Amino acid sequence: MCYMDNNEFLRARKRLSKTQKQMTGLLGTSLEAIQSYEQGWRSIPTHVERQVFFLVSKMRENSKNERPCWVIKKCLPERKKQCPAWEFQSGRLCWFINGTMCEGKIQRDWQKKMRICPSCEVIAALL
């Protein structure tokens, strides 16, 4: 199940300054698939969605305004110690890492995390 919709996909492509054809190489898919994602005719596979979020986050990584998730979410020290985003100092990639502490509990898989992440200000800032 995909949580990125066609408009978010299009915004992400534009944020990356890529043509549809260039996206085919980045995502390992066909031009027809890219067009279908943007038109909403085909749902975006999980592996494509994850790759798009990753690329956009890497593009933004060097921004001086970027704060790690534990700062944005005001995580207490005991929560941070349990979270792999803190352990690996990947506070802008928290959505990418399974096992993060979100909403007070460990999020073990992508499908469940992506029910939470789109409404979180950490990932919302990507798109």
Asked if residue 94 has pLDDT above 70, the reply is: yes
Asked if residue 118 has pLDDT above 80, the reply is: no
Domain span(s) for CATH 1.10.260 in the chain: 6-60
Asked if residue 117 has pLDDT above 70, the reply is: yes
pLDDT, mean of residues 4-15: 92
Note whether 11 and 4 are within 8 A (CB): no
Q: In the structure, how many helices (H) and strands (E) does the chain have?
A: 9, 2
Q: Give me the amino acid identity at 50.
A: R
Task: Give the bridge partners for 101, in sequence order.
Answer: 106
CA distance 57 to 113: 17
Confidence of residue 54 (pLDDT cuts 50, 70, 90): confident
Element holding 100 (H helix, E strand): strand 100-102
Tell whether domain 6-60 is in CATH 1.10.530: no
